[in-house]
A and B are shown apart, each in its own frame.
Chain A
Amino acid sequence: MATSTAERSTAGPGTRPHARRSVGRWFANRLVLFIGILVLVYTFVPIGYIIALSFNQPTGRSATAEFDAFTWHNWASICEPDGLCDSLKLSLGVSITATILATLLGTLMAFALVRHSFRGRGASNLVIFLPMATPEVVMGASLLAMFVSLGFDSILGFITLVIAHTLFCLSFVVVTVKARLTGMDSRLEQAAMDLYANEWQTFRLVTLPLAMPGIVAAALLAFSLSFDDFIVSNFTAGQSVTFPLYIYGSKLKDFPPQLFAVGTIMFLVSFVFVIGGELWRMRRRARA
């Protein structure tokens, strides 16, 4: 629709009586797009800073200052700062475990809520919604209070982190998968059953593939929420240090410039991941 207006207005502005209006419309049509692109540029400003500073050789004690001199050193020595790579390993372990748990539990819940009717659906929906309406600081505080009162002080770390992360990811998984299941055409499954597929075959060959995009999206969301979490982790990590906790811990002391290299890697990996997924989907659609 946007292109048809464009053709009309470029066909001959000035020659037609409505030329002025159509030039105005041409701009009006693109104004929103222009603003949208500006907003996108704004969201990328700190990323530009992070990438630039990953090549910075800081002269002062603080790496968050201005750009001093170019160097590859930060990229070659990512594991050099004490504990950085351990924190990355812990974060990856926690996030992967929590993502698997939350995706599994959440998908089952979404199926129950969309596909089955039972007493107490409303109450269940409320219980699932509540964690999302709870500020993170409250969730972290209540979890810590419980762990302490149960005498878990000594095991604060991986296990408590996984419990907490699974908890705050769970509701987001349910909501995301539910949205996908609600939009699905249930007649496809009925057709499979009519064609003598049994319940399991229908589920495996029809329902699951149809629900998959929702489940994958939910898992990605859960992973990114978990990997980037600071507030809840700050309460439940005990002495162990996840990657966000590591950044927070170094913000006042010497800030290792290697952190910017890790930030750049995180950005690039996710970017390649998402673009790759997009291309794969486009190719599949083209083949179909």
Chain B
Amino acid sequence: MTSTAGVPPVAPEPVVDGETSRRRGWGWLLLVPGMLWLAVFFLFPTVQLVFTSLYDPSGSYETGYAMTWHFGNYADAVRDNFTLFVRSFMYAGIATVICLSLGYPLAYAIAFKAGRWKNFMLVLVIAPFFTSFLLRTLSWRTILSDQGPVTSFLQTIAVLPDDGRLLATPVAVIAGLVYNFMPFMTLPLYASLDKVDYRLIEAAGDLYSSPLTGFRRVTFPLSLPGVVSGTLLTFIPACGDYINAELLGTPKQYMVGNRIQAAFLTEHNYPLAASLSIILMAVVVLMVVFYVRRAGTEELV
């Protein structure tokens, strides 16, 4: 990063320092159009959302809202929707762990075991996800339905009681989350594992480490950047998702996203929707920062 410090600011001279050819000068201008887009359409609305969350809650969509710096909105939002928040983070967390345990073997297999089928398998990883995710979630609704094959199979082998069901339970919602966010886990994991020098893993075996120890001490630590970005890319969208809860669950499985959506689009209760959004965003960002610190990786994505 700082290795360019010694390079004089006269740009066109090719930099001899082989690693980086970062130049000073007017290059940052390339950043301006994109940054403007982010400032106008992301930062500004987010700040505005903070203001909206402090409006007087006694106003309404028709009469308008008065700005009263009503911080009590946050307390109300948390008090009334505490279970929704807990449920959202729990569902998203469980889904992320399951995604990791399914995605890791898959990414590992593609990176090290697929041989010349590597690229073909990679294509297969993304191919299903080019079809509309609503259609895919609706097919899960059919597959997991009470007369569906999975339910009857589980009833036959007595895992599920005869009147037991999958659809409209937390299991179905979490399964939907797992399914829909799989590629966000698998692809970063693959990218990370693919960079690992397989000779290091073999060396661990040569030095008499059991495959398990070799994995724990060599492979897994080397793939950690992929684990971090994969879990983040799965957990963040899963926290705010409301489609899986809506299509595969019932109001008993609703997540905070359902509440925000309803408060905004049907009830027009903007202060509530805004304070819920800000809380959700703040908690997610805090969790991400804490997690990234703990995992000890520098690059976020």
Q: Is B54 interfacial (CB-CB < 8 Å)? A: no
Query: In the complex, which range does the number of interface residues on chain B fall in?
Result: 35 or more
Contacts of A124 in B (CB 8 A): 31, 35
Which of A36, A64, A109 counts the most B-chain CB atoms under 10 A from its CB?
A36
A33 adjacent to B35 (CB under 8 Å):
no
Query: From residue 234 to 283 of chain B, which have CB atoms closer than 8 A to chain A?
Result: 236-237, 239-243, 247, 257, 260-261, 264-265, 270, 273-274, 277-278, 280-281
Q: Is A23 interfacial (CB-CB < 8 Å)? A: no
- Interface residue stretch chosen among B73-81, B134-142, B153-161: B134-142
B114: min CB distance to chain A, Å: 7
B21 adjacent to A108 (CB under 8 Å):
no
B14 adjacent to A193 (CB under 8 Å):
yes
Contacts of B41 in A (CB 8 A): 143, 146, 163-164, 166-167
Query: From residue 39 to 53 of chain B, which have CB atoms closer than 8 A to chain A?
Result: 39, 41-46, 48-49, 52
B20 adjacent to A234 (CB under 8 Å):
no
Contacts of A260 in B (CB 8 A): 135
Q: Is A263 interfacial (CB-CB < 8 Å)? A: yes
Interface of A is mostly: helix
Query: In the complex, which range does the number of interface residues on chain A fall in?
Result: 35 or more
- Interface residue stretch chosen among A7-15, A68-76, A129-137, A208-216: A129-137
Contacts of B114 in A (CB 8 A): 33, 36
Interface string of A93-126 (1 = CB under 8 A from B): 0000000000001101101111111100000110
Q: Is B10 interfacial (CB-CB < 8 Å)? A: no
Q: Is A243 interfacial (CB-CB < 8 Å)? A: yes
A36 adjacent to B34 (CB under 8 Å):
no
Q: Is B284 interfacial (CB-CB < 8 Å)? A: yes
B135 adjacent to A259 (CB under 8 Å):
yes
Q: Is A222 interfacial (CB-CB < 8 Å)? A: no
Q: Which of A35, A42, A128, A137 contacts B38 (CB 8 A)?
A: A128
Q: Which of B35, B109, B141, B278 contacts A37 (CB 8 A)?
A: B109
Contacts of B182 in A (CB 8 A): 39, 43
Q: Which of A65, A117, A142, A231 contacts B48 (CB 8 A)?
A: A142
Which of A117, A174, A199, A230 counts the most B-chain CB atoms under 10 A from its CB?
A117
Q: Which of A64, A133, A199, A267 contacts B128 (CB 8 A)?
A: A267
Q: Is A151 interfacial (CB-CB < 8 Å)? A: no
Q: Is B124 interfacial (CB-CB < 8 Å)? A: yes
Beyond A145-B270, A170-B38, A230-B133, is A112–B243 a contact (Cβ under 8 Å)? no
Contacts of B94 in A (CB 8 A): none
A141 adjacent to B273 (CB under 8 Å):
yes
Q: Is B125 interfacial (CB-CB < 8 Å)? A: yes
A283: min CB distance to chain B, Å: 13
A138 adjacent to B260 (CB under 8 Å):
yes
Q: Is B115 interfacial (CB-CB < 8 Å)? A: yes
B132 adjacent to A266 (CB under 8 Å):
yes
Beyond A127-B38, A137-B242, A251-B138, is A190–B21 a contact (Cβ under 8 Å)? yes
Q: Is A288 interfacial (CB-CB < 8 Å)? A: no
Q: Is A194 interfacial (CB-CB < 8 Å)? A: yes
Q: Which of A1, A112, A138, A228 contacts B27 (CB 8 A)?
A: A112
Q: Which 5 A-B pairs have the closest CB atoms?
A: A135-B240, A116-B27, A36-B109, A270-B130, A112-B30
